[in-house]
């Protein structure tokens, strides 16, 4: 079977592509320019013609994926902007929402062989900041949509990103509900919280790291973070390799069709990652000795910032999650190799 993976050069997507190839699938990866795909061609050259690239310059343009969806059996749509300092609402919501509806429209029109579409949504479209409840797949982040509606470009960067993911996922379900009797495919949506893990995408340096990896890097390796931040702030998390595995399972498991699924290892406050880094012996990153220590153990007694119910994931996907220590070891070993 052949899978189209959109935004194939991203932090999560390269692991998704790799996982599909390892499992024997052929992959067509979409990127915005041929240049951005060069490292992928090199990385996956041992797979020969089982890995190919397609350039889709503007994912928001009507018909953008009309050619790319031809001849594939499934689609994993990961492309979407993720940064927290957007100046305008439109720069995030435009590509997030229109990118999603564009690929669904192209799949409806030209994706005769497509049986399932997996969308990389986010817990951003589930969680409402400040609400203490245990969040489930029934929850939607209406708060972010409200903030963006009321405040426009003055809304916080976080709200803009959260709203972009919520509106994109809503648009996907709406399109599917309207068209499901006419299309041969169904939809499965994954909702990961913060994603951390070693990097295999093309990154020139720390400054160009993707948002979640950059936050992890700066928290664990840069000293002087305030106590309040380290011991009360955090979210839930999942290892990037488990996210990749979840994409394969969401495509293969019949029961994932028609479902949004929260995938999460558990919660963290940022101090937990500092503790995990300091617990490893020998240090995977000897060039940073000593590592910042923050406020050792404070995470153990901290209130978990956000809690998700992952019963649906257990029932349908049954992921084996990496632990904080395993993920930390592999990230730090990767940083050491890069001299960061």
Does residue 32 bind ligand NDP (CB under 6 A)? yes
Nearer to ligand NDP, 176 or 194 (CB): 194
Give least dist CB 127 to ligand NDP, A. 11
Q: For residue 241, list its beta bridge partners.
A: none
Q: Which of 212, 236, 264, 267 binds ligand NDP (CB under 6 A)?
A: 212
Q: Which residue is nearest to ligand NDP (CB)?
A: 10
Nearer to ligand NDP, 98 or 231 (CB): 98
Does residue 82 bind ligand NDP (CB under 6 A)? yes
From 8-16, 65-73, 170-178, 253-261, span contacting ligand NDP (CB under 6 A): 8-16
CB 213 within 8 A of CB 335: no
What is the contact mask toward ligand NDP in residues 45 to 64, using x (rule: CB under 6 A)? --------------x-----
Does residue 166 bind ligand NDP (CB under 6 A)? no
Distance CA 90, CA 201 (A): 26
Does residue 10 bind ligand NDP (CB under 6 A)? yes
Does residue 261 bind ligand NDP (CB under 6 A)? no
Q: What region does 210 belong to: left with phi over 0, alpha with psi -120 to 50, or beta?
A: beta
3-class SS of residue 132 = coil
Q: Which of 5, 12, 93, 331 binds ligand NDP (CB under 6 A)?
A: 12
Quickly list DSSP for 27-91. Answer: EEEEESSHHHHHHHHHHTGGGGGGEEEEE-S-TTSTTTTTTTTTT-SEEEE------S--SSSHH
Q: By CB under 6 A, how many residues form the interface with ligand NDP? A: 24
Please confirm whether the linkage preceding 282 is cis (ω < 30° from 0): yes
CB 280 within 8 A of CB 328: yes
């Amino acid at each position: 079977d052949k899978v189209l993976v959109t935004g194939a050069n991203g932090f999560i997507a390269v692991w998704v592509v790799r996982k599909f190839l390892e499992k024997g699938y052929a992959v067509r990866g979409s990127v915005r320019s041929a240049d951005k795909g060069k490292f992928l061609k090199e990385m996956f050259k041992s797979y020969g013609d089982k890995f190919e690239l397609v350039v889709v310059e503007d994912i928001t343009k009507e018909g953008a994926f009309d050619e790319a969806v031809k001849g594939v059996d499934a689609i994993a749509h990961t492309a979407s902007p993720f940064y927290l300092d957007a100046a305008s609402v439109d720069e995030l919501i435009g590509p997030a929402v229109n990118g999603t509806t564009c690929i669904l429209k192209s799949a409806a029109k030209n994706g005769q062989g497509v049986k399932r579409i997996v969308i990389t949504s986010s817990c951003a479209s589930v969680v409402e900041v400040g609400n203490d409840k245990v969040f489930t797949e029934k929850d939607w982040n209406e708060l972010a949509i409200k903030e963006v509606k009321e405040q426009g470009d003055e809304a916080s960067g976080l709200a803009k990103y959260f709203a972009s993911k919520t509106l994109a996922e809503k648009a996907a379900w709406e399109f599917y509900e309207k068209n499901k009797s006419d299309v041969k495919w169904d939809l499965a949506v994954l909702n990961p919280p913060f994603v951390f893990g070693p990097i295999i995408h093309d990154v020139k340096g720390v400054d160009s790291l993707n948002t979640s990896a950059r936050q992890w890097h700066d928290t664990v390796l840069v000293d002087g973070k305030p106590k309040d931040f380290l011991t009360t702030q955090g979210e839930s998390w999942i290892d990037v390799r488990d996210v990749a595995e979840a994409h394969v399972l969401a495509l293969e498991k019949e029961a994932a069709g028609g479902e949004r699924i929260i995938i999460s290892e558990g919660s963290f406050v940022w101090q937990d990652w500092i503790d995990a880094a300091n617990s490893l012996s020998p240090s995977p990153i000897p060039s940073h000795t000593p590592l910042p220590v923050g406020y050792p153990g404070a995470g153990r007694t901290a209130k978990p910032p956000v809690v998700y119910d992952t019963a649906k994931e257990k029932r349908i996907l049954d992921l084996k999650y990496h632990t904080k220590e395993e993920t930390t070891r592999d990230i730090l070993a990767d940083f050491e190799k890069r001299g960061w």
